[in-house]
């Protein structure tokens, strides 16, 4: 059976390649967005790559053969603004600050400030890399259509009939007698979601241990990219701090326009990622996600502005130690990629159907 399936896959892939020009194949490999037109050779092919099918059932757009992703039809101006904010300061720092720091005007030479330059570029590289990782990798997308409801009805019609128990919330016991976890059924993805998983209406997928959907990275923050998100915030705060210190040192020796701009920019840009970092550290220290924290609040839309983060009694994910909760989050395994975009799969794969 496996040999037959492999032959069918090779035959279908050949049909797809023969139906497209080299330019169309290159464009499809570079960017995969939207739904295939019905009746096209690709749409009726027996086999296609998983990332081409995922673009039809999710709100993702895939790049470079499924290696990178972003959310399609979303407000991407936030993502672009963060990217610009990451690129402009190091350019100004390299052009105007590095020459002065290397040949310091006070005659001390480069030995005094070389460490400051190295630390700045290291922190900036960490911020840039983790920004790309958190915004373009999968947050922990769960496969679809694992627990499909019954199908039945009059001849010629196949309405979906969800059993009554699918509308209930299942409560499961934990190691702590006073704590429990709830499991719900997702009617959009047709799966019973694991504990702490949630459906994102923007990405149109269920995400494992979802914290929230972040507009600044145009992606969900979940189990597989949460540590990248925290590292990005930490590195961004460190970059702004080093940039502020180096520009202030330059400004203390001579008054120029660029050091003034960099001091103001880094001082203003530091506060928002710092507030987010402190908030998420408090969340992880108390063993909560943003969605779980919102359930404990009444009428609060922005949990970052809430004056106090409280521990939830009976939380099964709270180890009782702030440091242990943070360490467990940063050291835990990212978990398997349950829906690998680059996997070759049949067009009739149940995961690629709505």
Q: Specify the residue for token string 């997928």.
A: 205
Query: Rounded distance, CA 264 to CA 248, Å?
Result: 10
User: What gap in Å lies between CA 39 and CA 19, rounded to an integer?
Assistant: 12
CB 246 within 8 A of CB 101: yes
Q: Which residue has the higher pLDDT, 144 or 176?
A: 144
Residue 225's closest CA among 335, 67, 75? 335
By CB neighbour count within 10 A (0-12 exposed, 13-18 middle, 19+ buried), where does 45 fall?
A: buried
At residue 138, φ and ψ (nearest 5 deg) are -70, 135
Q: Supply the pLDDT for residue 213.
A: 92
Query: Higher confidence at residue 51 or residue 179?
Result: 51
Instruction: Enter the tokens of residue 324.
Output: 């242990």
**Whole-number pLDDT of residue 5:** 46
How many C-alpha atoms does 175 have within 13 Å on its Cβ side? 4
For residue 224, pLDDT beyond 70: yes
Cα-based distances in Å from 176 to 179, 209, 240, 316, 318: 5, 20, 43, 7, 11
SS3 88: helix
Q: Does the pLDDT of residue 345 top 80, yes or no? A: no
Report H helices in 20-113. 22-30, 50-57, 77-92, 98-102
Query: Do 304 and 275 form a contact (C-beta atoms < 8 A)?
Result: yes
Tokens of 266: 């880094």
The first and second tokens of residue 139, run together, are 């947050």
The count of residues in the chain is 354
What is the model's pLDDT at position 323? Answer: 87
Chain centroid to Cα 190, Å, comes to 22
Mean pLDDT across the chain = 79
Tell me the two tokens of residue 336. 């398997």
* C-alpha of 343 from chain center: 20
Mean pLDDT calculated for residue range 330-340: 81
Contact between 90 and 220 under an 8 Å Cβ cutoff? The reply is: no
106 has pLDDT over 80: no
**Angle value at C-alpha 165, between 162 and 170, nearest 5 degrees:** 130
Predicted pLDDT at 8: 46
Which of 347, 350, 348, 293 shows the shortest CA–CA distance to 318? Answer: 293
Beta bridge partners of 200: 205
pLDDT in tens, 291-308: 888 877 766 666 666 656
Token pair in block for residue 116: 């400051």
**What distances in angstroms separate CA 273 from CA 106, 285, 316, one per listed residue?**
34, 18, 29
Q: Where is average pLDDT lowest: 18-27, 120-129, 273-282? A: 18-27
Q: What is the pTM of this model?
A: 0.82
Burial class (CB in 10 A: 0-12, 13-18, 19+), 323: exposed
| Tens-digit pLDDT profile for residues 139-161 | 999 988 888 776 655 555 556 66
* Average confidence (pLDDT) over 173-185: 72
Percent of the chain with pLDDT over 70: 75
Q: Tell me: pLDDT of 46 over 70.
A: no
| Band of residue 128 on the pLDDT scale cut at 50, 70, 90 | very high
CA nearest to 354, candidates 198, 205, 218, 139: 205
Q: Are 139 and 200 in contact (CB under 8 A)?
A: no
Kindly name the residue from 200, 214, 237, 240 that is annotated as catalytic: 214
What H or E segment, with its residue span, contains residue 133?
helix 114-136
189 is catalytic: no
């Amino acid at each position: 059976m496996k040999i037959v399936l492999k032959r069918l896959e090779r035959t279908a892939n050949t049909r797809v390649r023969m139906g497209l020009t080299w330019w169309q194949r290159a464009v499809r490999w570079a960017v995969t967005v939207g739904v295939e037109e019905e009746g096209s050779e690709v749409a009726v092919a027996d086999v296609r790559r998983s990332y081409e099918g995922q673009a039809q059932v999710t709100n993702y757009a895939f790049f470079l053969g499924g290696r990178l992703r972003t959310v399609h039809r979303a407000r991407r101006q936030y993502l672009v603004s963060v990217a610009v904010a990451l690129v402009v300061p190091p350019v100004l720092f390299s052009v105007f600050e590095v020459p002065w720091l290397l040949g310091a005007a006070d005659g001390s030479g480069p030995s005094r400030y070389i460490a400051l330059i190295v630390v700045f570029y290291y922190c900036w590289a960490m911020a840039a890399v983790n920004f790309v990782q958190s915004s373009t990798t999968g947050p922990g997308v769960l496969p679809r259509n694992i627990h499909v409801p019954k199908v039945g009805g009059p001849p010629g019609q196949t309405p979906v009939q969800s059993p009554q128990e699918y509308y209930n919330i299942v409560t499961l016991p934990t190691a702590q007698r006073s704590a429990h976890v709830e499991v719900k059924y997702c009617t959009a993805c047709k799966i019973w979601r694991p504990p702490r998983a949630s459906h994102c209406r923007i990405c149109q997928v269920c995400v494992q241990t979802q914290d929230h959907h972040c507009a600044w990275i145009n992606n969900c923050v979940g189990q597989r990219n949460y540590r990248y998100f925290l590292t990005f915030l930490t590195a961004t705060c460190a970059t702004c701090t080093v940039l502020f210190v180096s520009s202030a040192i330059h400004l203390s020796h001579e008054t120029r326009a660029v050091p003034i701009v960099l001091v103001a920019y880094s001082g203003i840009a530091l506060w928002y990622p710092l507030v987010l970092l402190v908030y998420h550290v408090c969340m992880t220290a108390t063993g909560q996600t943003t969605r779980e924290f919102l359930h404990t609040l009444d009428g609060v839309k922005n949990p970052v502005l809430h004056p106090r983060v409280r521990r939830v009694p009976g939380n099964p994910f709270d180890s009782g130690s702030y440091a242990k909760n943070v360490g467990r989050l940063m050291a835990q395994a990212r978990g398997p990629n349950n829906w690998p975009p680059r996997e070759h799969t049949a067009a009739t794969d149940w995961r690629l159907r709505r």
